[in-house]
């Protein structure tokens, strides 16, 4: 099927999310769609700003996300599997372990247009735009993300705290030095 139809894609993701092997199916759908990243970018051209929930029910939460240049989303978990596909700009995803001595940086994954990554429920990551461009992505979570309780983590101490607007605003960083 040539092209990318967002409404159709959301229907496919909703169906996949209800299957026993939902993580695998969602990842396969995302990987297949993002193979034609130009078509995804074209279909998503009407979206701007930081985020928008495209669909959510008890099984799946599908988001548009646009991160401004040098924005650094603070360390957080998802408490569900997150599958992320970037269709424009570049994100650096930094992964951490929370230990007695605070957050320990484990690895960084550069995610470019057409790349799809899956992140486990307990993984902790921060997300930083890599350059002067906005990064644009579709995020798929296998749970109703707006209602589940998840955590943000203090940059220095690694202490977990509720993921809410106040904590997010306090921890958000700009990567401009
Ligand atoms: Fe995340």
Q: What is the 3-state secondary structure (H, E, C) of 98-163?
A: EECCEEEEEEEEEECCCCEEEECCCCEEEEEECCCCCEEEEEEECCCCCCCCCEEECCCCCCEEEC
Tokens describing residue 90: 């570049």
Distance from the CA of 123 to the center of ligand 1, in angstroms?
A: 9
Q: Where residue 177 falls among pLDDT bands split at 50, 70, 90? A: low
- Taking only the tens place, the pLDDT of each residue in 5-52 is 999 999 999 999 999 999 999 999 999 999 999 999 999 999 999 999
Say how far apart CA 3 and CA 17 lie, in whole Å: 22
Residue 1 lies in a domain: no
Distance from the CA of 42 to the center of ligand 1, in angstroms?
A: 24
Residue pair 37/113 in contact by the 8 Å Cβ criterion: yes
CA separation (Å) from 102 to 39, 68, 75, 161? 42, 27, 12, 13
Q: Where residue 174 falls among pLDDT bands split at 50, 70, 90? A: confident
Distance from the CA of 120 to the center of ligand 1, in angstroms?
A: 10
Residue 115 lies in a domain: yes
What DSSP element (H or E) covers 9?
helix 6-17
Distance from the CA of 118 to the center of ligand 1, in angstroms?
A: 10
- Taking only the tens place, the pLDDT of each residue in 104-156 is 999 999 999 999 999 999 999 999 999 999 999 999 999 999 999 999 999 99
pLDDT of residue 175 exceeding 90: no
Residue 119 CB: number of other CB atoms within 10 A? 20
Residue 94 lies in a domain: yes
Structural domain boundaries, residue 97: 6-174
- Taking only the tens place, the pLDDT of each residue in 64-77 is 999 999 899 999 99
Say how far apart CA 38 and CA 87 lie, in whole Å: 8
Say how far apart CA 119 and CA 93 lie, in whole Å: 10
Residue 105 lies in a domain: yes
Distance from the CA of 76 to the center of ligand 1, in angstroms?
A: 6
Residue 87 lies in a domain: yes
Question: What CATH number should be reported for the domain holding residue 116?
Answer: 2.60.120.10
Nearest to 16 by CA among 81, 64, 77: 81
**At 100, phi and psi to the nearest 5?**
-65, -25
Say how far apart CA 151 and CA 53 lie, in whole Å: 19
Map residue 39 onto helix, strand or coil: helix
**Model pLDDT, residue 70:** 87
Distance from the CA of 169 to the center of ligand 1, in angstroms?
A: 15
**Model pLDDT, residue 77:** 97
Distance from the CA of 125 to the center of ligand 1, in angstroms?
A: 6
Residue 75 lies in a domain: yes
How many domains is the chain built from?
Answer: 1
Report the predicted TM-score, pTM, of the whole model to 2 decimal places. 0.94
């Amino acid at each position: 099927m040539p092209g990318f139809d967002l409404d159709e894609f959301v229907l496919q993701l909703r169906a996949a999310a209800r299957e026993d092997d939902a993580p695998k199916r969602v990842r396969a759908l995302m990987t297949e769609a993002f193979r034609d990243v130009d078509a995804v970018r074209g279909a998503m051209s009407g979206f701007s700003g930081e985020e928008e929930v495209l669909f959510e029910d008890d099984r799946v939460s599908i988001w548009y996300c646009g991160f401004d240049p040098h924005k650094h989303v603070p360390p957080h978990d998802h408490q569900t599997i997150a599958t992320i596909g970037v269709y424009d700009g570049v994100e650096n995803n930094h992964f951490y372990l929370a230990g007695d001595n605070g957050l320990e940086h484990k690895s960084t994954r550069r995610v470019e247009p057409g790349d799809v990554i899956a992140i486990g429920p307990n993984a902790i990551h921060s997300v930083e735009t890599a350059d002067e461009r906005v990064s644009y992505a579709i995020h798929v979570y296998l749970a109703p993300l707006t209602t589940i309780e998840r955590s943000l983590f203090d940059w220095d101490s690694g202490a977990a705290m509720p993921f809410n607007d106040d904590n997010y605003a306090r921890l958000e960083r700009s990567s401009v030095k």
